[in-house]
Structure 1
């Protein structure tokens, strides 16, 4: 009987806790889970969820309904497949910042019934603002800063552009391959960036580092691979960039590591 009372009491606490969750938080969680589980996502992207933890990462970064979201350099659309339907479901706005004015996401993103109105802007080393000043709630870039470091001043420009477009209190969400605890190799030509490099650039642009997470950590990643981070899945490079793939390269060691060890950072534009 005592055990039954304890179980019922615990259940009562759960009910109270759930009823105390604001409606907006419940809406966020339901809409986010629906976007992550949606049939619109490419099966190859879904297969990577175990390494990329999309729902947990976006919740950590602070994605909420009704936000105006800008994703800078969305690449193959891993995050776009989630963010655009989420924005549609929560009366938000999704904007993809591509490298050229004529560069768009794959044609499937034209399906407004699934993705809503996908908007576009431009970010490059020579582009103008990525949007009107103080207009965005959330800016995300994932696995891009290491590339921008190869072009002098481009990563710093991204930080300034993100700071300018965000509203006071707005969020900058960053995911990238983490060099720590070893030092960053020069301009990160191997794809691994020191956390301090990104944090210092963000602070110089006016951001504060609000939180970091180990959601995307991978302690198996030694960060010393023959073709940099691209030796690992999903790229699985077997020869220097620009050269034909080596059919005799043994991927087993690197496949066992999985995707890279990554930093997951949340910055805030001060109010």
Structure 2
């Protein structure tokens, strides 16, 4: 009996140590992993897990299974395919797009797997007068993956930078104490800042200034999505690398060997 009790104590300690090391309870990490392994995910997106590290990323952001989560501009739904099954039983998922056409990928998922995606809520972002929007103070977590550079470059706004407005609206939709998670292509701090306007890369200092200017507190960063092989100085910007491969077959194997871009992973908090 003594040996059993000692073994149990060791096991309990090991779980506790693992939880501290990952920054979240083991049950949360296990639940995220189960969602990553959901049968509703598509194979071509699963193949990119090695670049995007969804278990580690969502665990770092502290996304709970009972949270109300807003995913900003999900595109075809790469992260939506993970967040929807993860939140389906206890939580709520909102997805936002710059206009109705931006929901085409999400509608496709809803048609294919209504049992998983049927409860999704949609809203316009950034929202203008009269647009359906995420209610103020309703979200526990807001997530945006590889989008801040688009706002900085004026995508959908004729080249006009609207990143401060975007951060202000994300701040408004969060409850006090809520978290903002940002992943984006990282421009070296010593690079010419003008490259943020066309390369698809953006500096950590720029993202922090935008977030803190909107009222967020900086919580911390993870290097889980770092890629030291990415020099971030490509002629055709970040789109030179996978998955876009803007140069087609030219040097294709070289860019595939580098993999997807070097990315920042930053966490911010809306003060109480």
By the TM > 0.5 criterion, same fold? yes
CA contact (8 A) 2:97 2:123 kept: yes
Q: How many Å separate the matches in 2 of 1:257 and 1:84?
A: 30
1:213-260 CA-partner distances (Å, limit 9, x unpaired): 10000011111112111000110001xxxxxx5x5x222222221110
CA contact (8 A) 2:127 2:133 kept: no
1:114 and 2:123 equivalent? no
For the aligned residues, what is the CA RMSD? Answer: 2.5
What stretches of structure 1 of length at least 5 have no aligned partner?
239-244
CA contact (8 A) 1:85 1:116 kept: no
Which residue pairs with 1:188 in the alignment? 197
SS of equivalent to 1:69: strand
CA shift for structure 1 position 98 = 1.0
SS of equivalent to 2:197: coil
Q: How many Å separate the matches in 1 of 2:188 and 2:6?
A: 45
CA shift for structure 1 position 154 = 1.7
CA contact (8 A) 1:175 1:265 kept: yes
Q: How many Å separate the matches in 1 of 2:162 and 2:16?
A: 46
Which residue pairs with 1:162 in the alignment? 170
Q: How many Å separate the matches in 2 of 1:120 and 1:51?
A: 27
1:147-169 CA-partner distances (Å, limit 9, x unpaired): 11122342111100010110000
CA contact (8 A) 2:74 2:80 kept: yes
1:171 and 2:179 equivalent? yes
1:175-220 CA-partner distances (Å, limit 9, x unpaired): 0000024325414311110100000010000001101010000011
- Quick check: which one's helix share is greater? 2
CA contact (8 A) 1:124 1:154 kept: no
CA contact (8 A) 2:228 2:262 kept: yes
Compare 200-209 and 218-227 and name the one that shifted more: 218-227
Compare 148-157 and 137-146 and name the one that shifted more: 148-157
CA shift for structure 1 position 38 = 0.9
Q: How many Å separate the matches in 2 of 1:231 and 1:108?
A: 28
Counting matched residue pairs gives 255
Which residue pairs with 1:13 in the alignment? 10
Which residue pairs with 1:261 in the alignment? 262
Which residue pairs with 2:157 in the alignment? none
* Distance of aligned partners of 1:72 and 1:25 in 2 relative to their CA distance in 1, 3 Å threshold: same
CA contact (8 A) 1:125 1:157 kept: no
Q: How many Å separate the matches in 1 of 2:63 and 2:56?
A: 10
Q: How many Å separate the matches in 2 of 1:164 and 1:51?
A: 31
CA contact (8 A) 2:15 2:26 kept: no
Which residue pairs with 1:199 in the alignment? 208
What stretches of structure 2 of length at least 5 have no aligned partner?
155-159
1:78 and 2:78 equivalent? yes
SS of equivalent to 1:149: helix
